[in-house]
Structure 1
Amino acid sequence: MGRYLARRLGQAVVALFGVMTLIFFVQRLTGDPTYLLVPETATQADIEAMRASLGLDRPLIVQYGTFLVDMARLDFGRSYIQNIPVIDIIASRLPYTLQLAGGALLVAFCIGVPLGVWMAVRRGHAEAKGFMGLVLAAQSMPTFWSGILMIMVFAVWNHWLPPSGAGGWRNLVMPSVALGLLSMATFARVARTSVLEELSKDYVRSARARGVTTGRLVRRHLLRNASIPVISIAAMEISQLLAGAVIVETVFAWPGLGLLTVQSIISRDFLVVQGVVLLGAFVTIALNFVADLLYSLVDPRIRLGGAS
């Protein structure tokens, strides 16, 4: 177990280092931000002074080393526009994105997985086929379009929910559903496929021959054996939720990291964009590491194979 964890942790560290390196050099390819920070009447001496204050006059390898040291200290620099630490800006917006992602994950997992298991158990029945059509429709609908439809139906036409902004739980309902709808459909399809695969195996036929009921069979055997694909897709879907938050937060004017990213891109506040991207990369790598741990708990064969 220890060798397996050390191997996975080493892979996570290498991946994070690669992402940081890529972000650093891509940011440098976008151009010199100095000209965005000085007035149009600035002289060349003013420009050079600003460049020196930002550390952009030093050799690239020195800038890269400083960048890695700053990242190790969680120092993302200061916003070019607001002139406050980027970490403070992200910290003020992060709780809103966590609320939204949590609500969306609740919708996706608590509806998608039971629905997928039910459709697998009821395969061939008309109601299961009908729900499968709805799942495919939900997976095909763009997030921004479902969000706009919800605003029209529940806010504009019926005045049941507020159309935008943050506040109480009512403000969170539509953004959570809009963000979680696509992941819900993905969970449902993966759970259905995984359970159908388990239903075709010999141990299921043997259990049925012994008179084991469908409900007990699902609870005692199928859910555990079919959970690995669901765990795998869960790590990716949570990352997708964070990425999809950019669109949903913009549609619903939700003051999270997604809306912050859009605003920072428009104002060319590159350090804020860099900080949000690095945070997203860290969360994605951490989620995949946690998924690897869950694999080893659900199926020890994976742990033993990874340690060999």
Structure 2
Amino acid sequence: MVVFLAKRAGQALVAIFGVMTLVFFIQRLTGDPTYLLVPETATQEDIEAMRQSLGLDRPLLVQYLSFLADIVRFDLGRSFIQNIPVTDIVASRLPYTLQLAGGALFVAFVIGLPIGLILALARKYKSSNILMGVVLAAQSLPTFWSGILMIMVFGVWLGWLPPSGSGTFAHLIMPSIALGLLSMATYARIARSSVLDELSKDYVRSARARGVPQGRLVRRHLLRNSVIPVISITALEISQLLAGAVIVETVFAWPGLGLLTVQSVVARDFVVVQGVVLLGAFVTIAVNFIADILYSVVDPRIRLDGAGQ
């Protein structure tokens, strides 16, 4: 177990280092931000003074090492526009994105997994085809379109929910559903495929031959043995939710990291964009590391294979 965790931790650190390096050099390829921060009437001396204050006059290697040292100290720099630490800006918006991602995952789990189980166990009934059609329709809807549609129906026509903004639980309902619909459909398909695969195995046929009740068979065997693909897709879906939050937060004016990214891109506040990208990458790597640990707990064979490689 220790060897397995050490190997996975080493891979995660290499990935984090690679992301930091990539973000640094991509930012430098976008050009010199100095000209965006000085007025049009600025002289060459003013431009050089601004470059010196930003540390852009130093050699590229020195800038890179300074960048890595700042990241280790959790220093993401200062916003070009607001002139306050990026860490403070991100920290003020992060809780909103976590609320939205949590709500979307709740929608995906609570609706998607039971639907997948029903689709697998009731596959011989015609009604399962209708339910599968609903799942495919939910997966086909673009996130921005489902969000706008919900705003029109539930926010404008019916007036049941606030169409935008934040502050109450009611504000969270529509954004969570809009963001969670795609993940819900994915969970339903993965759960269906996984359960169908388990149903075809010998231990299930033997249990049914011994007269094991369907409910006990599902609870004691099918759910546990079908959970590994679900864990795997959860790590990927969290990354997808963070990416989809940019669209959903913009549509619903939800003040999270997604809306912050859009606003920073429009304002050309590249340091803030860099901070959000780094945070998203770190979260993705951390989630995948946790998923690896859960794999090894659910199925020890994965741990043994991973340690032996």
Q: TM tier, shorter chain?
A: over 0.9
Q: Please give the alpha-carbon distance, in whole angstroms, between the structure 2 residues aligned to 1:167 and 1:174.
A: 13
Question: Match for residue 163 of structure 1?
Answer: 163
Q: Please give the alpha-carbon distance, in whole angstroms, between the structure 1 residues aligned to 2:21 and 2:99.
A: 30
Which amino acid in 2 is paired with 1:222?
A: L
Question: Match for residue 258 of structure 2?
Answer: 258
Q: Please give the alpha-carbon distance, in whole angstroms, between the structure 2 residues aligned to 1:220 and 1:123.
A: 21
Question: Match for residue 246 of structure 2?
Answer: 246
Question: Match for residue 177 of structure 1?
Answer: 177
Deviation, structure 1 residue 195? 0.2
Aligned residues: 308
Per-residue deviation, residues 128-185 of structure 1 (Å, max 9, x unmatched): 1111100000001000000000001101110000000001111000000000000000
Instruction: Confirm or deny that 1:272 pairs with 2:272.
Output: yes
Gaps of 5+ in 2: none
Q: Please give the alpha-carbon distance, in whole angstroms, between the structure 1 residues aligned to 2:162 and 2:86.
A: 30
Question: Match for residue 119 of structure 2?
Answer: 119
Instruction: Confirm or deny that 1:30 pairs with 2:30.
Output: yes
Question: Match for residue 70 of structure 1?
Answer: 70
Question: Match for residue 286 of structure 2?
Answer: 286
Q: Secondary structure at the match of 2:164?
A: coil
Gaps of 5+ in 1: none
Per-residue deviation, residues 224-283 of structure 1 (Å, max 9, x unmatched): 111110000001101111110000000000000000000000000000000000000000
Question: Match for residue 85 of structure 1?
Answer: 85
RMSD value over aligned CA atoms? 0.5
Q: Please give the alpha-carbon distance, in whole angstroms, between the structure 2 residues aligned to 1:215 and 1:131.
A: 21
Runs of 4+ in 1 over 6 A off after TM superposition: none
Identity %: 77
Question: Match for residue 200 of structure 1?
Answer: 200
Q: Please give the alpha-carbon distance, in whole angstroms, between the structure 2 residues aligned to 1:295 and 1:219.
A: 19
Q: Please give the alpha-carbon distance, in whole angstroms, between the structure 2 residues aligned to 1:290 and 1:223.
A: 20
Q: Secondary structure at the match of 1:166?
A: coil
Question: Match for residue 191 of structure 1?
Answer: 191
Q: Please give the alpha-carbon distance, in whole angstroms, between the structure 2 residues aligned to 1:121 and 1:207.
A: 15
Q: Please give the alpha-carbon distance, in whole angstroms, between the structure 1 residues aligned to 2:73 and 2:274.
A: 15
Deviation, structure 1 residue 110? 1.3
Q: Please give the alpha-carbon distance, in whole angstroms, between the structure 2 residues aligned to 1:34 and 1:166.
A: 35
Deviation, structure 1 residue 118? 1.3
Question: Match for residue 60 of structure 2?
Answer: 60
Which amino acid in 1 is paired with 2:210?
A: R
Deviation, structure 1 residue 127? 1.6
TM-score (norm 2): 0.99
Q: Please give the alpha-carbon distance, in whole angstroms, between the structure 1 residues aligned to 2:127 and 2:215.
A: 18
